[in-house]
Chain A
Amino acid sequence: MKKYLFILLALCSQSAVFAQGGSLLDLLGEEEETEFTTNAFKSSRVINSQSMEMLQVGTLDFRILHRFGALNQGYKEFFGLDQASMRMGFDYGVLPNMSIGIGRSTSKKELDGFVKYRILWQSKGKRNMPLSLIWVSGMTYNGLPQPLSQPDVEVTFSRRLAYYHQLIIGRKFSDRLTLQLSPILVHRNIVDNILVPNDLFAVGFGGRCKLSQRLALVWDYSYLINRFPANLQSNPLSIGFDIETGGHVFQLHFSNAIGMNERAYLTDSNDNWLKGDIRFGFNLSRVFQVKKNKI
């Protein structure tokens, strides 16, 4: 009889002890989830080239870009600020992995449009993906009354056009560092002479180093593979800072490139950094939520 009582007591106390150990939340067990990498860059552009960052669905990015004259013109030209070239553009996030955009540049009165699609999205957790892969295809239209250098060549619609296709391979290594590599092909329907290639290949090297919560150092360089005349021209290099202030992102930078779309900054002649032909420029990005998220 005592034995039974003892067993009874033991059983009761055991269940009581069992109920108290460990965290309650551990009882639920946790499912591992996929965590997608966000904020690899502050903006959808490194400086001139597209970044591995996509716009969120339903957001409209109004972008105003300025490039000033060369700094080494001195005070007479107020270090280049007296001259300005600009591009105004609208980008829109259609799907989580797809954005579209249009823009108009003062230089060559050029219109441009692009489609950007994210094929792979860097993630960790349940689905582990070391990098993001993004495809961009775009088109430009030269709007000058006389777009061609030879006056005897007939101006047709197709001769005003150029296309570009780009693959962006990017990785956010840490909160601080993001790097990307972006091979690009620019095709111009007509070029100045037989030595200038219609198909121009280049490789972009872009990156970001975050300095603080609102400030980041960014750089953007493109190596042109088959440009003519390669020995006389410089590859576009831009270095700047991304400054975030709530709704706006300011990208302030110095660059030897004048163009603000892929055709322009890659194929138009760029200045030489070493000679001091550097220009100040800025990109201003203001994001509007057109389609509100449901909460």
Chain B
Amino acid sequence: MKKSVVFTVLCLGLLFVSHETWAQQKYFTKSGVIVFDAEGKLDDIEEIKAKTTTATCVYDEGTGNFEWAVPIKSFVFASSLMQEHFNENYLESSKYPKSTFIGKVEKPSAVNLSKDGTYPVKVNGKLTMHGVTQEVSVDGQFIVQKGVISANSSFDIALKDYKIDIPTVVFMKVADVAKVKVNANLQALKSK
């Protein structure tokens, strides 16, 4: 009897320990920042740049799965007209309201988010934008500083790959390849 009680306690203890160490912690944000820049060759006056601060993402430390979603209408431009064209003509945000990225971090075990440091990673996955899905592979890094976790990356997107047509009248103003910068501060996701 005594033996079995001890064993039960041991088992339960082990169970908790196992959850502590093996549990696959997930991290998220609802305020990820994405900036993109499509400055063309001929445009010195107006910058073609937009920013959103409401991108959402979830990262699963155990599997390396990394998923992002961003509402297209949340991108803000300095010029309202440009923003209107972006939504109405280029990204067609009423038809395709969201852009998503479903990917996986290569070798997630090399990243230890509970320890300070900089962890360069490669993320592979599917980027969906303007209704078109493309396989992408981007370099980025996790930075843990005093327990604050941030993820950032910058990469290029060829607008043609996503069937975003820039009309000939303005093609010199808008770059063929847009530079995208991503930055997110991640918080631990508490399971409900």
Chain A residues in contact with chain B, CB under 8 A?
Answer: 1, 4, 7-8, 11-12, 15, 19-20, 23-25, 27-28, 33, 35, 38-39, 56-59, 175, 213-214, 244-247, 287, 289, 292-295
Contact = CB atoms under 8 A, between A and B. Distances in A.
Contacts of B49: 295
Interface residues of B, number: 51
B26 to A, nearest CB: 7
Interface stretch (B50-58, B110-118, B132-140, B153-161): B50-58
10 contacts: A4-B7, A24-B58, A24-B65, A24-B66, A24-B67, A28-B28, A38-B87, A57-B80, A292-B78, A294-B76
B188 interface: no
A175 B94 contact: yes
B58 A56 contact: no
Contact of A8 (B14, B30, B65): B14
A37 B124 CA distance: 36
B84 A39 contact: yes
In order of increasing CB-CB distance, the 6 nearest A-B pairs are A56-B80, A24-B58, A289-B79, A292-B78, A24-B67, A295-B51
Interface secondary structure of A, over-half rule? loop
Interface of B: 7-8, 11, 14-15, 18-19, 22-24, 26, 28, 30, 49-51, 56-60, 62-63, 65-69, 71, 73, 76-81, 83-85, 87-89, 94-95, 100, 102, 167, 169-170, 173, 189
A38 B92 CA distance: 12
Given A23-B67, A27-B28, A8 B78 contact: no
A4 B67 CA distance: 37
Contacts of A33: 71
Given A4-B11, A20-B63, A24-B58, 11 more contacts: A25-B67, A25-B68, A27-B28, A38-B84, A39-B84, A56-B83, A175-B95, A246-B173, A287-B81, A293-B78, A295-B78
Nearest to B56: A28
